[in-house]
Amino acid sequence: MLLQERILMRKIRNREKKKLKLLKLKQELAEDPHSSDTGVIEPSSICPKQDISSNVTGSKRKEKRGETDERCIDVTKTKKKKKSQSEQNENAENGTSDSTNNDESSEIKGPDDTVDSDRPVPIKLETGAPFSALEGHVCKKTLRAIEEMGFTNMTDIQAKTIPLQLAGYDVVASAKAGSGKTLAFLIPAVELMHTLKFKQRNGTGCIVITPTRELCIQTYGVLKELLKYHALTFGMLMGGANRATEADKLYWGLNIIVATPGRLLDHLQNTEGFMVKNLWSLIIDEVDEILQVGFEEDIRKIISLLPTRKRQSVMFSATASFKCHALTTLITGMRFEPHSVGADVKSETTPATGVTQGYLVVPSERRFHVLIAFLRKYRKNKVMVFFSSCQAVQFYHDLLNYIDVKCLCIHGKQKQEKRTKTFFQFSNAAEGILLATTLAARGIDIPDVGWILQYDPPDDITEYIHKVGRTARGVGGTGRAVLMLRPEEIKYVRYLKKAGISLNQLDINPKTPVVDNQGPMEWLIGRNFHLRKLAQEAFQAYVRAYRSHRLKHVFDADKLDLKQVAKSFGLIRPPPVDLQTDLKQNMGPYKRRF
């Protein structure tokens, strides 16, 4: 029998014995008709160890009665005293607490609930202030870890939000991509756990929720470095990982957890031993992305499963579209108005200042030729190319590697192990090409990315900002971003301009000729079954994604020249496509054949 099972059985036996003893005392008290005070136990009728034998002498009987008089006390006081003593004994023997046990030893008593006006005044920090300015408010262990991570000065979002969180305020913050949001919420969270003296037996005190697995891995890596000199336990929960291993770690206690919404909800509903009664901090990163990808219902269920006690709630994002009052009310509890930091619409619709942005106008049949020329010219840089579908990413990855243009790819249909390996491989490389979907557009920090090419136009402004934000990260970072458009899509530039994003039109450099490889490409795909199948699937996914674009007046699928689009996939003729229209318009699917 496992140690935990033995401890649990011992507790059950002790509790049953106490219940039987108290029940017997109550029954004997109820049967005594001469008792004038029902709260006092009379020795003659209740004490079970009283000797009433006729062979016992009067003196002995008197002595025995004196002993019983000392042992017999008020029933209600006895119950409370024995209960408190037994709980203390159990805690001393076991040393640890199970999630179903509400012993006081595992209960963390945090700051008192106070109204907003009674909370301490946050310290004032200027942008660029050194992290040493936090001395006295952040423990030396954390400051030492920050110094070893190579960070010396605070960014704007860090200087504004860290003091508020250290003072216990709820925060709703937005800042540009690459501005240091991860450290901005992890430093106060670690300090809170350190101040409350969290132990492994206390369970989980802080939960950080991220929308994607890649962002979860990255946040976990930063947390691991930050806790280098702390004794706090921490872990990561995400889809694709071993659930049994995660459940075992949760049983023994993880003080700080970084998780994706789906896997976190799964553990809250199904994992025994997951203790969240001591939760004092809930952090949600990239809130707008969580809402866009359909995790809002999961977040609501997660909130309902967490304890209703007062906790600090923090929400971060790179855009302001997440300002949903209902969700903010749900997450923070609205015990007082959360502080909004960096909520400037102009700054949120502007990518990092170090990014040079432009667009190329390329006909459908020449798009792939321009892509090859672009990648070959900048192969000594780190380049990220974004596509609209997983099928397109996989097709162009296999095709480019087949013709000796080495590249990596990452998309949602890959296994988690492959995605993680690719992510770290590209992050650690000095040069390379990464083909990706919007999966790699959120929050992940890949250093030294020089070029961003959006091969397929993004669905909205928020998506555009996040993709461009993969370059020019950090203070003083620089990078270049290019958007590829068809001549019919030029209205998209005006749409971005209205949102405050200005793009310069770029021309193909005559010194870098674009070679027409259409014939050899069609010959290769026509004779390679694997590539031909991928090309057909990528074409169909492209048309469906085009059909579902939000800007119908710019991206009109009915005006697509499918024969010319098929050429960009190396197909002689376009395959049949099922275009699933919007169900809200009560329009069924239809098929266009060629």
Those residues whose C-beta lies under 8 Å from the C-beta of residue 461, and which sit 6 or more positions away, are 349, 495, 496, 499, 501
- Supply 93's token pair: 């023997």
Domain spans, the chain: 129-341, 355-569
The answer, yes or no, to whether residue 18 has pLDDT greater than 90, is no
pLDDT digits (tens, 9 = 90+) for 97-120: 344 444 444 566 555 444 455 567
What's phi and psi for 29, nearest 5 deg?
A: -65, -40
The answer, yes or no, to whether residue 590 has pLDDT greater than 50, is no
Average pLDDT over every residue of 83-91: 46
pLDDT of residue 351: 61
pLDDT of residue 443: 64
- Whether the domain at 129-341 and the domain at 355-569 fall into the same CATH topology: yes
pLDDT of residue 49: 37
CATH class entry, domain 355-569: alpha beta
pLDDT of residue 106: 59
Average pLDDT over every residue of 190-219: 94
Q: Report the alpha-carbon distance of residue 415 to residue 327 in Å, rounded.
A: 32
pLDDT of residue 578: 75
SS (H, E, C) 334-349: CCCCCEEECCCHHHHC
Considering 33-42, 350-359, 396-405, the range whose residues carry the highest mean pLDDT is 396-405
Considering 41-45, 170-174, 359-363, the range whose residues carry the highest mean pLDDT is 359-363
Tell me how far CA of residue 99 lies from CA of 86, 87, 102, 203, 252, in angstroms. Answer: 19, 15, 8, 8, 10
- Supply 528's token pair: 């390679």
pLDDT of residue 327: 56
pTM value is 0.68
Average pLDDT over every residue of 23-52: 51
pLDDT of residue 486: 94
pLDDT of residue 228: 95
Fold of 129-341: Rossmann fold (3.40.50)
Contact predicate 397/371, CB 8 Å: no
pLDDT digits (tens, 9 = 90+) for 49-65: 334 333 434 444 444 44
pLDDT of residue 411: 92
The answer, yes or no, to whether residue 467 has pLDDT greater than 70, is yes
Higher pLDDT: 338 or 151? It is 151
Give the range among 142-146, 301-305, 351-355, 556-560 with minimum mean pLDDT. 351-355
The answer, yes or no, to whether residue 96 has pLDDT greater than 90, is no
Kindly indicate the confidence band of residue 37, based on its pLDDT and cuts at 50, 70 and 90.
very low
Kindly indicate the confidence band of residue 373, based on its pLDDT and cuts at 50, 70 and 90.
very high
Average pLDDT over every residue of 274-285: 94
The answer, yes or no, to whether residue 399 has pLDDT greater than 90, is yes
Average pLDDT over every residue of 287-309: 83
pLDDT of residue 375: 94
The answer, yes or no, to whether residue 542 has pLDDT greater than 60, is yes
The answer, yes or no, to whether residue 594 has pLDDT greater than 50, is no
Average pLDDT over every residue of 468-476: 77
pLDDT of residue 219: 94
What's phi and psi for 482, nearest 5 deg?
A: -125, 135
Average pLDDT over every residue of 111-133: 73
- pLDDT > 90 in the chain, percent: 46
- Supply 406's token pair: 């080495």
What is the average pLDDT value for the chain, to the nearest integer?
79
Closest CA to 295 of 374, 233, 215: 215
Kindly indicate the confidence band of residue 591, based on its pLDDT and cuts at 50, 70 and 90.
very low
The answer, yes or no, to whether residue 425 has pLDDT greater than 90, is yes
Which DSSP string do the residues of 121-144 spell out, in sequence order?
PPPP--TT-BGGGGBTTB-HHHHH
- pLDDT > 70 in the chain, percent: 75
b or e along 403-440 (b: 16 or more beta carbons within 10 Å of the residue's beta carbon)?
eebebbbbbeebeeeebbebbeebbeeeebbbbbbbbb
pLDDT of residue 410: 93
Q: Report the alpha-carbon distance of residue 252 to residue 557 in Å, rounded.
A: 54
Those residues whose C-beta lies under 8 Å from the C-beta of residue 296, and which sit 6 or more positions away, are 290, 327
pLDDT of residue 112: 47
pLDDT of residue 343: 41
Give the range among 360-369, 468-477, 536-545 with minimum mean pLDDT. 468-477
The answer, yes or no, to whether residue 69 has pLDDT greater than 50, is no
Higher pLDDT: 588 or 347? It is 347
Average pLDDT over every residue of 385-414: 94
